[in-house]
Structure 1
Amino acid sequence: MAGKGRQDKIKGKAKEMTGKVTGDREMQAEGQLDQARGEAKKTKAKAGERIQETGRAIKRDQT
């Protein structure tokens, strides 16, 4: 899970800040979108790990 979406979040924050400083609202919005994309990747990875953990727990309980 470590690092999943982190690059998008960092890139997005940089774009958002650059957009704020330069007054470029489109770049600012792109940065926010990149950050949201990074958060979604992180959430997806976390959900996948929990599904795998649940599957392993079910297998242990069946044996």
Structure 2
Amino acid sequence: MNAVAVAAAFATSGDAELRRIDVRSMLRAAEQGFPRWVMPHLQNLRHAVVFAGSAAALVLLAAH
């Protein structure tokens, strides 16, 4: 997720704890917790599965 979008969501949440979080540092630390291959490859696999599932659902809906 985009750091700007997360920061905006935290800022408008009404939660004082969330407003104090340094979003860029938090996201950087979270990304560093995964092996390097996870972000490009696993993310692309997830997108492919979601796209294929959506396409299959549309085909099944159109078949009825």
Q: TM-score range, shorter-chain basis?
A: 0.3 to 0.5
Pick the structure with more helix per residue.
1
Query: So what's the TM-score if we normalise by structure 2?
Result: 0.45
Q: TM-score, normalised by structure 1?
A: 0.46
